[in-house]
Structure 1
């Protein structure tokens, strides 16, 4: 009798795109800071796997009309991405259609081998730009979201090497699952969940400046040993905001538990005066208004010097995740796929963030800071 030998083989994932030494890749997407926390982790992993490949990033969102927040987002994103040594050229958000045409002309000169666009909205606009940059490149991109658009643009999409179905996004438990699917499929780059937040590197000098700022605020208010809590209650949509009345209740109850607590209240530049005025009216709590107005890295340097971050559903909670800071995230139930991966506590409100009671946040903060 002969014994049969069973050999086991390990399945090796074969990427759909074959990158070679010297290949040029243009990655196009509508980036915000929160988006880059996750997509940036995959771009870094791609660079590590293919160190001899040029990776450029197009962050223009292909809108016909400029948005009021474009300038601020452009500035902060470029400041962060400029520090990413594995990225070559960053094409900014276009200030006008003429500016976009110039960006396209600049990109044409690169003669990209591969163009990948990841767009959950305006996908056909990205396809048009990608083809204008280099119609002979291997182009891969997301399909339009709705069926009518897919039918309307089906002829244009026939020219693509392959497409990415947005149905993958709908079935993802977290937004990073969607990016993991894309990078795994196209480049055989896959990351475990805890690797999917791009780390923000704060220099020693900036880190020291952040500590000095916190100490200066604490000394000015005669606060001895006690926690410093960074709070961000404002987003770009009122459904994701927390109310000032809730902020008042939260800070009062935590001050009662720990009288030497300093609260740093973050505000976007256009809201700073309003937030600063509110802070000035508070007589029973120690609170300072803050806004990063000079440089993006002011923000993580101050956050890093705090003991806890409490943030509504906006970029701040993802930056806290990048910095691995103790955090309470306040999000809508419908946005659970955008929860920060490393948060100590994620509280969800039905339809609106302000449906999360201040008392819930107090309990979570007491547990994290061990004030209970």
Structure 2
């Protein structure tokens, strides 16, 4: 690998995976690249459902939206996308994933320099590796937090030190979005109260914290502080929230499935504390530097931690954790999250709230 000090003017970064949290973390690599080359014109290619979170960014000049379903089924769309990328005349592309379809796009778009990566268990296939013309070797990939992994790609390519770093980010807020968020909160919350957001149901249900524990936590917080609680999540979390609401008399404002990704960001910007499990919303809040209490169980925070100095991270590291299990049926006891005590979470919440005062 030859270190590059050349200031490439037109740069294509791409993350085409289906994990929003990882996509947000990958922006740390862009932040680092822009520190080195502040005048570079940066385009980020991501799945179309993730693109809005990057709109109006200070560090990204253009967002290239990828309809991944069409990419898998339509050769015509594939060809159109190759032409579109080629017409932008990028000097370099930098892979934040190893998906063959994305690498093929950059190859046939004839981008002169195409950067990929390899590491233990992350070696690209022979086909994909031939689509890159430079590869960054990451020796200790299994030991790295995901945030450091993305930064290591840039450090390896540019020959930077481990102390050279960047933070994940999201796009800036538009005036209309700010006004709408203020109106939304004004309609459902009482003034001069702290706003506490909750997101305690994970897409992987093994990450979720039990509702009985959440209800007890809400009751204890409500007894000590003057707060408004609201819940964010997907439509699929509705039954989870309904059960939670039945376990506490404290009012809960339910926004699950009722906000798009930009609206969610605007709400989190106005949150005093966000209590969350390992979710994409956790990484959004971290990028916004919102105070966090983050709960981990089956997945290790050493690997997936939020990139924030304002995060209190709690991990009930049982003998079987981390297991990285995605199947609820394989872990019916769910002890790592079930046994994470309300008292421990409550102390972390109090610590974060007391800092605000």
TM-score by length of 2: 0.78
Matches within 5 A, 1:67-78: 74-75=48-49, 77-78=50-51
CA shift, 1:250, in A, is 1.4
Match of 1:102 in 2: 80
Matches within 5 A, 1:131-210: 131-134=107-110, 137-143=112-118, 146=121, 153-154=125-126, 157=129, 160-172=132-144, 174-187=145-158, 195-198=166-169, 200-203=171-174, 205-210=176-181
**Cα RMSD (Å):** 3.4
Q: Distance in 2 between matches of 1:291 and 1:248?
A: 17
3-state SS of the aligned residue for 2:109? helix
Q: Distance in 1 between matches of 2:181 and 2:269?
A: 7
Match of 1:344 in 2: 311
3-state SS of the aligned residue for 2:261? coil
CA shift, 1:311, in A, is 0.7
Answer whether contact 2:120 2:140 (CA < 8 A) is retained.
no
Match of 1:257 in 2: 224
Match of 2:232 in 1: 266
Q: Distance in 1 between matches of 2:131 and 2:271?
A: 51
Distance 1:365 1:123, change over 3 A: same
Give the one of 184, 197, 211 matched to 1:213.
Answer: 184
Q: Deviations over 1:211-243 (max 9, x none)?
A: 443343234xxxx75432111012221221112
Distance 1:156 1:366, change over 3 A: closer
CA shift, 1:345, in A, is 1.0
Matches within 5 A, 1:234-249: 234-249=201-216
Answer whether contact 2:28 2:166 (CA < 8 A) is retained.
yes
Q: Deviations over 1:163-194 (max 9, x none)?
A: 1335442132x322222221122235678588
Matches within 5 A, 1:6-155: 16-20=3-7, 23-30=9-16, 32-47=19-34, 49-60=36-47, 74-75=48-49, 77-84=50-57, 86-96=60-70, 97=72, 98=74, 99-119=77-97, 122-134=98-110, 137-143=112-118, 146=121, 153-154=125-126
Unaligned runs of 5+ in 1: 1-13, 61-73
Q: Distance in 2 between matches of 1:190 and 1:268?
A: 40
In terms of mean alpha carbon deviation, does 311-320 or 274-283 score higher? 274-283
3-state SS of the aligned residue for 1:164? strand
Answer whether contact 2:57 2:170 (CA < 8 A) is retained.
no
Answer whether contact 1:239 1:354 (CA < 8 A) is retained.
no
Q: Deviations over 1:277-304 (max 9, x none)?
A: 3465355212111136454232122223
Distance 1:56 1:370, change over 3 A: closer
Structure 1 runs of 4+ aligned residues shifted over 6 Å read none
Unaligned runs of 5+ in 2: 322-335
Answer whether contact 2:12 2:42 (CA < 8 A) is retained.
yes
3-state SS of the aligned residue for 1:234? coil
Distance 1:357 1:276, change over 3 A: closer
Match of 1:290 in 2: 255
Q: Distance in 2 between matches of 1:50 and 1:292?
A: 39
TM-score by length of 1: 0.75
Answer whether contact 1:180 1:190 (CA < 8 A) is retained.
no
